[in-house]
Structures are given as C-alpha cells and as structure tokens.
Amino acid sequence: MDKIFFHIDVNSAYLSWEAAYHLSHGGDIDYREIPSIVGGDPTTRHGIVLAKSIPAKAYGVQTGESLYMALNKCPDLLIIPAHFSRYIKASDAMVDLIARYTDKIQRYSIDEVFTDMSIYKKDYLKVASEISKNIKEELGFTVNIGISENKLLAKMASDFSKPDKIHTLFKDEIESKMWPLDIGDLFMVGSRTSKKLKGRGIKTIGDLANMDDEYIYTWLKKPGLQILSYARGEEFSDVHIEMDEIKSIGNSTTTPFDVTTMEDAERFILGLSEMVGFRLRRENMCAEVIRISIKNFDFMKKRRQIKLNAPIYSTTRIFEVAMELFKEIWGGDPIRKFSVSVSDLTSNEAVQLSMFEETYEKDKNFDTCVDNIRRKYGSKEVVRSTFLYSKIEPVIGGVAEDAKEYPMMKILL
C-alpha cells in the first residue's frame, strides 16, 4: 500500500455536539441516550430533523423528515434547536486535535475529515484508536474512523456499524465487506439511482461491480461509469490540504426533497448566501466573482458565474446575483443539490464603490447587526420571514468548502 487514508466522521454530529455542550455546562441528561433530535422550532413544531439520537432512530425517526412526521412517530421526542456557531467550534476543536498527528487534513464537511496517515503504515490501528479515544475524552463526543488505501474506501468503511467504531476496508477486503452491501449504500448512489439499478436486477454493490462497462455506459452514461468504478473500489484523489490564503468561500447543500418550485429554490439559495456572506465578512473580505451550481436527481450539473463591476460582501447582493444566475441555468427539472460560492477576494477595507451601489451603507449596517446577534445567540435568532413554516433552514452550511472541484465531490448527491 502506497497510502493510508483515514475518514473520520462524527457520530450524529449536531446531536452529539449539543449533548457534549449540555453536559459540560452542568446538564444531567445525555441527549444521545434519549429519543431526541436537533432541528426545527420547538415552539411552533415546524422544520425538519437535522440529526437524531439512536433511541429516536428506534422509533423510525429519519434525518430530513418533517418535525410533524417525527413527532407522530415519537410524541415524547425532545427537540433541540440548532446552534451552528457551536458546531463550527466543535469541528475546529476536532481538527486541531487531529493535527497533532498529521498536517495532511482535508475538511470534507463540518463533521467529516479525510487525513493522509501514510507515515503510520505500521501502526495505523494504534493511531486511529488514540485519536478516537482522545476525541471522546477531551471533546466529549465519538467518531467512526474508516481506514483504507484510498479515500473512497475509507469513507465507505466509516459508514459500517456505528457508533464509536474503527473499520478497515482495503482492496483485498472489498469482496467480503463491501460487495454484499445494498446498492444504495454505495457512495454517491442516491435513492433514485438505487431504484433504477434495482429495477435492472442490480441489488448489491457486488452486482454492479461485476457488470459490463459498455452496458452501464449505454444505460447511465458517464455517471454510470463513475459509480461502477466506485463499486470496484477505484478512486485516486489525494487529501487536499487547506491553504492559509483564502481564495474562495462557498457552501453547498443536498436537499432533503426534490426542489421543483422557484420559491423553494430561492430559500435554499438564500440560506446558502446567508452563510457565505457571514463567512466573507468574518474574514473582512469582499468578492468580485459569484458562482452558483445546481445538480438534478440524475447527477447532471449546471453552473454559472459572473464577475462584477465592483466587489461585494452583502448577503442580499450575493443572493440577488446568485438568483439571476440560477434563473439562467434552471430548466425546471427537480434539483437535489445547490452550491453558492464567491471568489476573487479582496480586503473590504479598500472597496471602491460603483455608482450603482447606493444601498451599500444600509446593507453594511444590516449585515453587521445580524452577524453580531448570530455570533452571540445562534443562527436562528434572526430569521428572514420567507423561511417561516418552509421546512428549509434559514442559514445553510458550515465549514469552508473550496470552490475547486475535487474527485471525491464531483457527483455527490
């Protein structure tokens, strides 16, 4: 093996982080041990489930479903509001701890990281155990760690039995550990693709791995060949190490349902713009390039970007430009993923306003006020009215997601 990769994934991240925070501040109930969820509004009982405890899962509660449905399954469900600023701090603390072992760390999402652990080829299991133990004892939550010679297999391994487990999935283990799994368990195979594959008799990952390449291409084209190579354990990307200089800021989200209306699309784009704008202002930067990308349920991706006459950092302006771009590329097909990003960043201390930026001072004061409230009290203390009763989060995203596309992210639903 030339490489050893870890995929480190926080177990029920939002719920675990809320539980750890609650216990460290004098609480006497571990949310992970009772039927509980993070998400929605406890007062109105609207919204969706963002994370669930194992006891809640036993009632059939599912991530992404409405609070109404979850409460029908478990009327005594404890509903915990989300605190995204708290989750960013917990994620940062985990990355800082992992950095004791390696500087080759790629933040894949707010609760997942890939690491290149090739320097520990002889004792990678010992190192994985140490990391898992230290995260549990020092930070108060647990992780699953998947280990393999490529990032795909490491990620698949981390999804084996949970919580608080360490699994390997090397090339010589694929046939026994991965191929018997349901085809829907394969990375980047969503529910629609799973249904299509099963309709052709492809029920397990092994069934797909042993299919003829030409047949899959004739039927599913290039995305089909991608999942076929994943079924065979083939993936060759390296860990992308975050650079000190921020060149772009972006966030994306996979939607819990097919987005088919302009109203819902606007809410998802606004929610992403809220986080992008917040992070842009936190870095005291402004942006000249705005980009949006969307992906439909068949993996087809469309993107559009524009270079502005003057740099901006207002959430409202980012959203307005993103919506203009969205309207140019959307043909009405159901959407499953949105991404909003900004680049060509410069310091906001030297912004040269164009004659068209008449609302600059008003937007600046508004954003500053909202940012301060959200930093102190949480992201849901100030919410735009369009999100009320919409089941869509008002602020979407967390950890930086570089605008560059990496092989492991190209076709992720």
The residues annotated as belonging to the active site are: 112
How far apart CA 20 and CA 10 sit, in angstroms, is 12
Residues 6+ apart with CB under 8 A from 124: 4, 6, 117, 147
Nearest residue to 34 (alpha-carbon basis) of 74, 67, 78, 68:
78
Candidates 245, 317, 295; CA nearest to 405 is 295
Angle between helix axes 360-377 and 315-329 (nearest 10 degrees) is 100
What letter does residue 15 receive in the DSSP assignment?
H
Instruction: Report CA-CA distances (Å) from 174 to 149, 151, 156.
Output: 12, 14, 10
Q: Are strands 143-148 and 166-168 parallel, antiparallel or unpaired?
A: parallel
- Checking DSSP bridges between strand 248-259 and strand 335-347, what pairing results, if any? antiparallel
Q: Side chain identity at 7, as an amino acid letter?
A: H
Beta strand extents in 169-300 (DSSP E only): 248-259, 285-296
Taking the CA atoms of the chain, what radius of gyration do you get in angstroms? 22
